[in-house]
Structure 1
């Protein structure tokens, strides 16, 4: 196993709201080994993006962050804002969901990539521009020198996403967070972007935290997976093992709701009944119990995230679920 580039332990995030304190993350833990991809998975509202913003130090002042965040063994959660800014872009970087709103419309693509190089590596404008063009070439943008002079609105969605990747990788960070990096892109461009991330990770040894709701992407591109539900970790482990032998009812539900090409024609997709609970008033015990077909009385108590198989953990009182799933 590679050394951990990023170690997150007992991460909790609470927002100050008009209704009082709102805890949206509750004890999230995961490790991100160097040169590997870990996927955070879950439906909208489960806390994936909040976790990534907390790691990057980009949450608003109304957020209170607790827990441990170690970057290559160094604790960074309590660093002053100025030191966190020096780390962002240089040692850690993030690809945001929608490049059209994340890129500055008033600056060219080349200027936006070059900014990180000037800020973190002290390059002058000429050298930073040349390095920016080289980065645009590295992310497979054709005619990179010409595209570097264009503004975001002059680029396609796929090219804008590649510019975001070039910005994130310009200073060769040790950790790259990709938050839904293929949102709103067609399937062909999605495949190209994900393949590019795999290629760049392999070439630089960068650790990738991939945030997605697409289990097909997890199966093809992730080494490890962390399944989140209502601000907590429901299940985690090697991606192939979790997808083949899920040990939490929520993971089972997500897999059942995924469309398959090899199923009988006309087969209806399974659904996860109900909705994500209101985190201002979450249910006691297991937060998935109101939607769980396997719930029993003990589900009124909080399940521990315990090891079911080597490296494979699930927060379910009834795990392992093998016999239950066979009977169902």
Structure 2
């Protein structure tokens, strides 16, 4: 969500008006991410304000984007709380702005839970499982672009920035993933989010407008309710277990040490399993997938840390966090379930 490409108020206003979304009243660049240019925009229709997110895609191209946006549309129609993309009169969801592909989606209510508890993790587990099941009949195909082939290629790009101990860790993990690949390829699969971190999930107060159903347990009386999942721009077709592992590696680890929180891990896995029961083969491969998820984000953060792109509001993430997560995952047998 760094701002790489400047968009003028007039340019944004023309696009939003053409989509029938009202008159632009406010526009703010969004710091905090590293892949795309995002603006929070507010329009007015019939005296009522409406919030949207305008995104310009810095790495993805026009051919790739329909998969992500149609997936979000598909999930929204199945009552998964994701941002709904807005189409023009021709039904197109991808537009051209500053020579780059762009989209406009609804801005979701709520805020991120950066210090999640059991209630947060339970709702994330339920929502992830529901999302996997809802996507099983999605008709489009695109491979997960940051799977093992990407990891192998990126390892060579960043290797020169590693010390001997880090290089040894990297080689061992790449070797493990190569060995795991045949069994991994046989696991249940479909569209995955692939980046379901704490800052990509929103929670709102129970019972607020936009959350009439409450949380997964139906309790409207107390606690936060998951109100949205966003940033699908790493999505692709891959194993659902990898998606679960990526999620566990963020929601259920200590942000300072990278060590697993076994209580939160058990809560999230049990909540997921109650909606989509894990197969025996998935349980057997959970530990290698936890390591695969940590490896993928260690490599992407190394890449962005040592080979940064220019961006007005860029905040690159420290790669040492996922190095610590990976070392913990490699040293332990895995989570509590």
- What interval of TM-score do these two structures reach, taking the shorter chain for normalisation? under 0.3
Structure having the larger proportion of residues in helix: 2
Structure having the larger proportion of residues in strand: 1
Please say which structure displays the higher CA radius of gyration. 1
TM-score, length of structure 1 as denominator length: 0.24
